[in-house]
């Protein structure tokens, strides 16, 4: 394979500015297990394949939730709408874990990870394997259950702000 390096002008800042123009869903991703209950807001969530149903989630290992995602196998991807915008900011950092979870209602499914009540959609998952890339770990997640709230408006993160999208 040819060794291609980024062009000189592609700094971390240039990459981040580019990513600010790539719209994405806002997800509160949670876990529970031996590593403790934890969660963070993540836009780096993607479908891998529907056979078997698989998602990937990219988690910063240096975040306060990172350790729990490495130790636990349960993961729930909760996609949020305007009603959970403030909650997404709390899970976006600098807030103690207990306080993040105290601000919303949760249930649990087969994996044991917290499922956010009234999310737009929740994917309850078990981690099948992990792959490290730079600061982040990519979690490959087998989907165990899917809960959809039909008609709920969804939030899209674009240009560093939330935008509501309705059907």
β-bridge partners, 164: 155
With CB under 6 A as the contact rule, which of the stretches 7-15, 46-54, 62-70, 73-81 interacts with ligand FMN?
62-70
Q: How far is the CB of 135 from ligand FMN (least distance, A)?
A: 8
Q: How far is the CB of 117 from ligand FMN (least distance, A)?
A: 20
Q: How far is the CB of 3 from ligand FMN (least distance, A)?
A: 28
By CB under 6 A, name the one of 25, 65, 75, 77 that touches ligand FMN: 65
The mark string for 128-167 relative to ligand FMN (x by CB under 6 A, - otherwise) is: -----------------------------x----------
Distance in angstroms (rounded) separating the CA atoms of residues 124 and 130: 17
Residue 53, CB half-sphere, CA atoms under 13 Å: how many? Answer: 8
Size (the chain), residues: 167
With CB under 6 A as the contact rule, which of the stretches 10-18, 55-63, 110-118, 121-129 interacts with ligand FMN?
55-63
Instruction: Supply 126's token pair.
Output: 């078990």
By CB under 6 A, name the one of 25, 30, 37, 41 that touches ligand FMN: 41
Among 151, 141, 93, 158, smallest CA distance to 121 is for 151
Q: Is 93 in the site for ligand FMN (CB under 6 A)?
A: yes
Among 112, 93, 102, 88, smallest CA distance to 24 is for 88
Distance in angstroms (rounded) separating the CA atoms of residues 84 and 81: 6
- Asked if residue 113 lies in contact with residue 124, where contact means CB atoms within 8 angstroms, the answer is yes
Q: Which of residues 103-132 bind ligand FMN (CB under 6 A)?
A: none
Residues in the site for ligand FMN, rule: CB under 6 A?
Answer: 26, 40-44, 58-60, 63-65, 91-94, 157
């Amino acid at each position: 394979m040819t060794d291609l390096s980024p062009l000189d002008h592609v700094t971390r800042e240039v990459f981040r500015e580019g990513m600010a123009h790539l719209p994405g869903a806002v997800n509160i991703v949670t876990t529970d297990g031996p590593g403790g209950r934890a969660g963070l807001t993540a836009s780096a969530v993607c479908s891998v394949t529907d056979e078997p149903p698989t998602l990937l989630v990219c988690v910063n290992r240096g975040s306060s939730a990172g350790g729990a995602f490495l130790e636990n196998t349960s993961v729930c991807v909760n996609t949020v709408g305007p009603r959970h915008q403030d909650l997404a900011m709390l899970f976006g950092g600098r807030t103690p874990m207990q306080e993040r979870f105290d601000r919303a209602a949760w249930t649990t499914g087969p994996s044991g990870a917290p499922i956010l009540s009234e999310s737009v959609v929740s994917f309850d998952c078990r981690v099948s394997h992990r792959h490290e890339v730079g600061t982040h770990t990519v979690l490959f997640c087998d989907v165990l259950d899917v809960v959809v709230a039909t008609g709920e408006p969804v939030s899209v993160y674009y240009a560093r702000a939330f935008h509501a999208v309705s059907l």
